Homo-oligomer: A and B are copies of this chain.
């Protein structure tokens, strides 16, 4: 069946995954970016990539990081540079789908939409796409081993400063 969900009976995993995903969005939207790397395991993979590039088998995308350290560097660079017009995001994340959960790892998908709010109050639909996650559920708190952000549109890179 195309829409069976083998892991869905495990309520505790589902709630833990949902809490992680909601907390991640909150961390970014509330500009607590210094906490952002802690949502990932030490060795990890964070990629932002367009849908067409992802479908073509590319794996490094617009933004790529392979460790918590690289994520931290990114946040520090963003804080220091500070050359862009101030803005923040508001993430709306749809329901999560756990497509697999075993050996301490959950594979999870969710749709998201990010609205961008400029300092002057201007608001626009900024990005939509999918989170494709591999989550370490063997220890608490849950952390992302891999988070691939697949953007629906390829028209976005120059504006992308804050992580999604």
Contacts and interface: CB of A to CB of B under 8 A. Distances in A.
Interface of A: 1-5, 8-9, 11-12, 14-16, 18-27, 29, 32, 35, 38-39, 88, 90-97, 109-113, 115, 117, 120-125, 128-130, 140-141, 152-156
Query: Which of the listed residues A2, A3, A32, A96 has the most CB atoms from chain B within 10 Å of its own CB?
Result: A3
**Number of copies of chain A assembled together:** 3
A19 B5 contact: yes
Nearest to A2: B35
Nearest to A10: B15
21 contacts: A2-B23, A2-B35, A3-B24, A4-B141, A5-B141, A8-B15, A21-B95, A22-B94, A22-B110, A25-B111, A26-B111, A90-B113, A91-B94, A91-B111, A92-B93, A93-B111, A113-B113, A113-B115, A121-B153, A123-B125, A123-B152
